Structure 1
C-alpha cells in the first residue's frame, strides 16, 4: 500500500490538508461519520474544539479497529454547523489533529451544514483509508 501526498507548487500551500492523495492498495476502509458521541450515545463537549477532539478520536478508534493508522487516511470530510467558528478555532483544531493523528494529512474538505443528526453536534468527520 502506498499513499503519496501531492501538493503542486502552482496551488496555494496546503495547511492542515493535502491537495491530492494517490492511493495504491488492496483494501479501502470507509469510515462512517463520527460526532462527539460517548459510549452511551450522548454528545459530549460544549465547544467546537471539545467536540472536534472527541469526533476525531471516535474516527481514529474506528480506523484502528479496521487495522489502519492515521497515516492510512486518504480522505476526510469535516461537516461543521458553523464554518466561521471552525475557521476561528482552526489553529487549536490543527493542534488537536496533530496530537491525535500526527503530521500526515489526507485530502480534506470542510463543509458547512444546517444541522447534524444530533441537534447538539457541532461537527462530524468521515473518511476513507487505504490498507495494503
Structure 2
C-alpha cells in the first residue's frame, strides 16, 4: 500500500480512524451512500443495519472503479442522531471490520437534521486512492 497515515508527533493515537492520510494515484470519489440496497429499497430501519448496508454500498462502488477497501483514504459519515451512533460504537466497530477490514482512513462524523431520504439514518461519502504502479 502506498498510503502514509499521518500522526503528528506528541498526539495521542487516533482510535478507529486516522487524523490524516497522504496518498498518490487514481482517485475514486463516491457520492453519499445510504443504507438501502441496489434497488433503492431499505431492508432495515435499524441504524446498525443501515450502516452495514451503506458500508457494503461503499465497497460496491469502489469495486466498480477497481478499488478495494484498503484504498480508502477518507470517509465522511452523516448521521441523524449522534447519540445513537455513539451508543452503537462496539457493534458498529464489528460491522466495520467485517465489511472494510482493519483499515482506518481519515474520518469525520457530522450530525445532520435530516437526510434526503426520510428513512435514511446514515449516509457515507468515501474517497479512495488506487496506488500508481
**2:35 equivalent in structure 1:** 36
**1:23 equivalent in structure 2:** 23
Q: Does 1:77 align with 2:76?
A: yes
Moved more, 2-11 or 75-84: 2-11
**1:102 equivalent in structure 2:** 101
Secondary structure of the corresponding residue to residue 40 of structure 2? coil
How far residue 9 of structure 1 moved from its aligned partner, in angstroms, is 4.7
Residue pair 1:16, 1:105 contacting (<8 A) in 2 also: yes
Using structure 1 for the length normalisation, give the TM-score.
0.93
Counterpart Cα distance in 2 of 1:7 and 1:54: 30
How far residue 44 of structure 1 moved from its aligned partner, in angstroms, is 2.4
Correspondence list, 1:1-132, <5 A: 2-25=2-25, 27-131=26-130, 132=132
Using structure 2 for the length normalisation, give the TM-score.
0.93
Unaligned runs of 5+ in 1: none
Counterpart Cα distance in 1 of 2:100 and 2:73: 13
* Residues paired across the two proteins, number: 131
Counterpart Cα distance in 2 of 1:111 and 1:43: 22
Deviations 1:41-98 (Å, cap 9, x if unpaired)? Answer: 1222121111000000001100111000111001000000001110110111111111
How far residue 8 of structure 1 moved from its aligned partner, in angstroms, is 3.0
Residue pair 1:35, 1:43 contacting (<8 A) in 2 also: no
Q: What do you get for the CA RMSD once the two structures are aligned?
A: 1.3
Residue pair 1:73, 1:130 contacting (<8 A) in 2 also: yes
Counterpart Cα distance in 2 of 1:55 and 1:13: 27
Counterpart Cα distance in 1 of 2:55 and 2:117: 16
